[in-house]
Amino acid sequence: MNEKLCERKAVIEVDNQSAVLVTAQHSLQILKLFTNETPELGICDLSRKMGLAKSTVSRIVSTFVEEAILEKNRETGKYRLSPMILELGLAAQESSPFVKRARDEIDALSKRFNCEAFLAVRDGMESVIVYRAEDSQETLSGECTFLPTTLAGLVTLVFSEDEPEAFVSENWPVWLDPGLLPRMQKIIEGITDNGFACGEEPLRRGKFTLACPVFNTTGTAFAAIAVTSDLGFDHASEEVAVCLGRIAQRLSADAMSNDDLAAVH
List the domain boundaries for the chain. Answer: 2-81, 88-261
On the question of a common fold for 2-81 and 88-261, the answer reads no
pLDDT at 119: 93
Task: Write the DSSP string, 106-171.
Answer: HHHHHHHHTSEEEEEEEETTEEEEEEEEETTEE-----EEEGGGSHHHHHHHHTT-SSHHHHHHHH
Is the CATH code 1.20.1250.20 the one for domain 2-81?
no
Residues 6+ apart with CB under 8 A from 42: 76, 77, 78, 79
Residues of the chain with pLDDT under 70: 1-22, 36, 86-87, 89-95, 135-142, 231-236, 258-265
pLDDT in tens, 234-260: 555 788 889 999 999 999 998 887 655
Is the CATH code 3.30.450.40 the one for domain 88-261?
yes
Find the angle CA(85)-CA(66)-CA(48) to the nearest 5 degrees: 75
* Alpha-carbon span 70 to 85, nearest angstrom: 8
pLDDT in tens, 1-11: 455 544 444 43
Q: What pTM was estimated for this model as a whole?
A: 0.65
